[in-house]
Structure 1
Amino acid sequence: MTTIAVRTDPIRRIGLTVLIIMGVTALAVLMRGFGGGADYRTPAWAIQLHLATVIPALPLGAWLLWRAPKGDTAHRVGGRVWALLMIVTAIDSFWIRTITGGIGPIHLFSVLTLVQLPRAIWFAKSSQIDRHRKTMRGVFFGLIAAGIFAMAPGRTLWALLFG
């Protein structure tokens, strides 16, 4: 009888754990959102669509930025999926208006995303890889910054998570 040694890479285990935690958190947030527990000045579908695109964009973006090699088929396909998720997220954000009742400062991240993503794609297609890399990093860290601002007390995400 032969035994097969299974190598468990700690990075893969950590990544899988983070994805599971994010999935459970997303499910809890979405379920709470369906219950109507918070006072929304925005349609529920907008928040649900926003979370449905943001939550997978975060780990996918991290994977794309920190994996090697770049430029292969997996990078290109993953990048297209990530860009699509980010475009939907940015457009959808304009329906989310809970604090001000209108477009607020956090929406600047959406405008920047809608401007910078096409530029980054053009940089990649025109072989300006350094500019592509810098622009995509900027959009990714903008996603993280917007997420941090979205967790502020009084914001919709705060209300969904903490009541």
Structure 2
Amino acid sequence: MAITIHLTAALWALLAGSSQLFTDKGTKLHKIVGWTWMTAMVIVAISSFWLTGFMNLFWGYSPIHLLSVWILVCVGVSVYSARTGNIKRHRAFAIGAFYGVVGAGLGTLAPGRLIHQWIFG
């Protein structure tokens, strides 16, 4: 169940995040998609803590879980920054969170990972 939640939210985060990069900023659509994207990012980060065992470095957690903590920080700072009018910081942290998820997604292609097994057998 955790993997389904995680992957569903991650796919939405990639789709919505990609669209956010290329659409007009500050519009109602940007705000609506942005909220769904931020929600998906939080779900991806939190659900990752139920996915353990790839590298048992710290109670089943691996370095990629540090990225989950960073994503939560980025989302929090980005939302706060948008709410307080610091759009430059909002943009920087939102883009940083997006590239973090892209990097994590690429990390799933490493040998021994579940997604690698699904794609490459």
TM class, shorter-chain normalised?
over 0.9
Q: Which has the larger radius of gyration?
A: 1
Aligned residue in 1 for 2:80: 122
Contact 1:98 1:156 in 2 (8 A): no
In the TM superposition, what whole-angstrom CA distance separates every residue of 1:45-94 from its partner, at most 9, and x where no partner exists?
A: 111111111112101101112212x1111011100000001101100001
Q: Does 1:134 pair with 2:89? A: no
Gaps of 5+ in 2: none
Gaps of 5+ in 1: 1-44
Contact 1:98 1:155 in 2 (8 A): no
Greater relative CO (CA pairs within 8 A, separation 6+)? 1
1:107 corresponds to which letter in structure 2? Answer: H
The CA RMSD measured in Å over matched residues stands at 1.0
- Aligned counterpart in structure 2 of residue 147 of structure 1, from 73, 89, 105: 105
CA distance in 1: counterparts of 2:47 and 2:118, whole angstroms: 18
CA distance in 1: counterparts of 2:52 and 2:114, whole angstroms: 9
2:62 corresponds to which letter in structure 1? Answer: G
Give the 5 Å matches for 1:65-84.
65-68=21-24, 70-84=25-39
Identity of aligned residues (%): 37
With structure 1 as the length reference, what TM-score do the two structures score?
0.70
1:49 corresponds to which letter in structure 2? Answer: I
Aligned residues: 118
